[in-house]
């Protein structure tokens, strides 16, 4: 069993290594953990002792199979709790992350399985992210960024790649929530911002925002 801190490190290493088979760097972990590189080195050694990461000095870390399983299990819990908070307790999608950060550390396999069942085995969390099943399996559908769409293309909003409350609230205000259909009408040369139509309304979205909206064409 891992401490909360160890679990947080594992999860962060996991997120930094998904879509990227390079070793995860000490500094990258330090930034996400909001701590110092020296602390990360200490923890990496501990995780390596426990065989949760492979580590060579100055070369960064890779999760081991065991470490990856542990990380995915935490991600599974995080996302299931987020679904619970939104679907059952009527929280908004921008309000659930911090609470799920705590709930993900609750330690009971039975609880997770029953929660999954209670929620009717959801496939995605409120932000469109896939929920691993009890064996850690999930299909990572590769979506297109709104910023990559071409003029005239139609798409369905499937997820976001930025989870800050500010960003999510902004999307909410614009009506750009999961499941909405949009059509890209114009790409502005000047700043890369895009004009789209959602539910018959014309909306302009900055390139920065468009980069974090995930689309299925």
Partner DNA sequence: TTATTTTTTTAGATTTGTCTAAATATATAG
Partner DNA sequence: CTATATATTTAGACAAATCTAAAAAAATAA
**Phi, psi at 158, each rounded to 5°:** -110, -15
39 forms part of the interface with DNA (CB under 7 A)? yes
Contact 146, 204 (CB under 8 A): no
The residue from 12, 29, 115, 213 that contacts its own copies (CB under 8 A) is: 115
3-state secondary structure of 151: coil
CA R_g for the chain: 19
- Among 12-20, 95-103, 107-115, 170-178, the segment contacting Mn ion (CB under 5 A): 95-103
Only one residue has tokens 């070369």, namely 59
DSSP assignment, residue 93? T
Structure tokens at 159: 């997820």
- Residue among 191, 193, 179, 103 nearest 146 (CA): 193
212 forms part of the interface with Mn ion (CB under 5 A)? no
80 forms part of the interface with its own copies (CB under 8 A)? no
26 forms part of the interface with DNA (CB under 7 A)? yes
13 forms part of the interface with DNA (CB under 7 A)? no
CB-wise, 53 or 85, nearer to DNA? Answer: 53
Q: How far is the CB of 165 from its own copies (least distance, A)?
A: 13
Residues contributing to the site for Mn ion (CB under 5 A): 82, 97, 125, 127, 129
- Using CB under 7 A as the criterion, which residues of the chain lie in contact with DNA when the complex forms? 3, 5-6, 25-28, 33, 35-46, 55, 57-60
């Amino acid at each position: 069993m891992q401490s909360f801190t160890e679990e947080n490190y594992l999860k962060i290493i996991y997120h930094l290594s998904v879509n990227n088979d390079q070793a995860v760097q000490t500094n990258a972990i330090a930034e996400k953990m909001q701590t110092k590189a020296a602390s990360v080195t200490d923890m990496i050694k501990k995780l390596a002792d426990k065989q949760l990461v492979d580590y060579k000095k100055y070369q960064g870390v890779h999760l081991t199979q065991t470490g990856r399983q542990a990380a995915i299990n935490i991600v599974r819990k995080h996302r299931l709790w987020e679904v619970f908070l939104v679907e059952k307790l009527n929280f908004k999608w921008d309000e659930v992350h911090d609470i799920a950060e705590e709930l993900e550390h609750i330690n009971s396999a039975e609880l997770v399985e029953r929660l999954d069942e209670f929620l009717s085995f959801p496939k995605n969390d409120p932000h469109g992210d896939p929920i691993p099943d009890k064996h850690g399996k999930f299909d990572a559908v590769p979506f297109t960024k709104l910023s990559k769409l071409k003029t005239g293309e139609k798409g369905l909003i499937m997820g976001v790649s930025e989870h800050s409350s500010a960003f999510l609230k902004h999307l909410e205000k614009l009506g750009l929530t999961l499941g909405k259909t949009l059509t890209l009408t114009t790409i502005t040369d000047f700043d890369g911002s895009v004009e789209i139509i959602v539910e018959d309304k014309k909306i302009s979205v900055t390139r920065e925002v468009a980069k974090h909206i995930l689309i299925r064409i």
